[in-house]
Amino acid sequence: MEYDADVLIVGAGPAGAIAALTAARLGRRTLLLEAKRFPRIKPCAGGVSPRARGVLRRLGLWDDVERAGYWIRGARFVTPAGRDTTLVGAASAVV
């Protein structure tokens, strides 16, 4: 296989995906390489923090991300010893 690109980005995580998007929006022929197949199960469940929401808004991507996810209003964590903590907050995360 042979590709002709101005920009090669290795890794399609958040930083790589944003770099590829930015290069493509600037008119560069962009090739984004990722070793793993998408979609895939992620340990973080694809959570989007409030800070990341701001980045996605600036890139014009937030509306699509929000439509594809659902809001978490709280979470309960239980340790192996049985102690638990409940976090509650309006619009705390989107997954």
* SS3 state of residue 87: strand
CA-based radius of gyration for the chain: 18
Q: Identify the helix (H) or strand (E) that includes residue 25.
A: helix 14-25
Segment 15-36, tens digit of pLDDT: 999 999 999 999 999 999 999 8
Q: How much is the pLDDT for 53?
A: 87
Tens of pLDDT, residue by residue over 59-92, are: 999 999 888 887 777 888 899 999 998 877 655 5
Question: From CA 82, how far away is CA 40, in angstroms rounded?
Answer: 31
Between CA 32 and CA 24 the distance in angstroms is 10
Give residue 9's pLDDT: 98
